[in-house]
Structure 1
Amino acid sequence: MCAGCWWKLPGTIAAPTGPQWHCGARDQAPAAARARAHADNQRLHARWVDLNLRRKRAVIANVAVARELAGWCWSLAVLPD
């Protein structure tokens, strides 16, 4: 999870995107889960930006966001159907 945060740093190569990288799982998720994922993605990005604006070291910011992401994944896994 921490490795994914490094794609956001200026001067790094962008993460691969496009139809060849899209497995279709996103389209199969329920609408509520997709909406929750999108909202949390934006929240985590805002958190990462805030930590960087406060001049936290990149390693600290990335691990903090990765820990929050791990907690979010756990909360989604235990969500009742």
Structure 2
Amino acid sequence: MRQRWAQASATAAARGDPGNRRLHERWLAYLEHRKRPVIANVAIARELAVWC
């Protein structure tokens, strides 16, 4: 994954990193609320689709 990040432009990396961190934090919050991982994954995928 680090190789793919190295190939990204500086602009894409600057925008992608905070988004990636935000979605990861959201995913952890779902797990802390005892949501099933499948449900958490679907919710994060929906957020990512809207963000893209």
TM-score, scaled relative to structure 2: 0.78
Report which of the two structures shows the higher radius of gyration computed on alpha carbons.
1
* Residue of structure 1 equivalent to 2:7: 25
Whether 2:18 is the aligned partner of 1:36: answer no
Q: Does 1:47 align with 2:31?
A: no
**Other structure's SS at 1:55 match:** coil
Instruction: Write the letter of the residue equivalent to 1:37.
Output: G
Q: For structure 2, which runs of at least 5 residues remain unmatched after alignment?
A: none
Following superposition, the deviation at residue 38 of structure 1 comes to 0.2
- Structure with the larger helix share: 2
Matched residue type, 1:25 = Q
Q: Which amino acid aligns with 2:25?
A: A
Q: Deviations over 1:26-63 (max 9, x none)?
A: 1xx2x332111000000000000000000011111000
**Unaligned runs of at least 5 residues, structure 1:** 1-16, 74-81
- Counterpart amino acid of residue 33 in structure 1: A
Q: What's the C-alpha RMSD, in Å, of the aligned pairs?
A: 1.9
Identity %: 51
TM-score, normalised by the number of residues in structure 1: 0.54
Corresponding residue pairs, total:
51
